[in-house]
Amino acid sequence: METSLRYNEGKPQWSLVDFKSLEPLVRVMEYGCIKYEKNNWKKGLDLTQILESMSRHLFALMSGEIIDPESGEKHIGHLYANCMFWEYHYNKQLNEKENSRKEESK
Segment among 23-27, 68-72, 97-101 with least mean pLDDT? 97-101
Question: Is the separation of the CB atoms in 32 and 40 below 8 Å?
Answer: yes
Is the predicted pLDDT of residue 66 greater than 80, yes or no?
yes
Q: Roughly what angle, to the nearest 10 degrees, separates helices 75-104 and 47-62?
A: 160
Q: How far is CA 23 from CA 5, 7, 20, in A?
A: 34, 31, 5
pLDDT on residue 3: 86
pTM to 2 decimal places:
0.85
* Whole-number percent of the chain with pLDDT over 70: 100
Query: Rounded to an integer, what distance in angstroms lies between the CA atom of residue 95 and that of residue 106?
Result: 17
Query: Rounded to an integer, what distance in angstroms lies between the CA atom of residue 61 and that of residue 63?
Result: 5
DSSP letters of 55-77?
A: HHHHHHHHTT--B-TTTSSBHHH
pLDDT on residue 100: 79
Which of the 8 DSSP states describes residue 12? Answer: -
User: At 67, phi and psi to the nearest 5?
Assistant: -105, 130
Average pLDDT over residues 18-33: 97
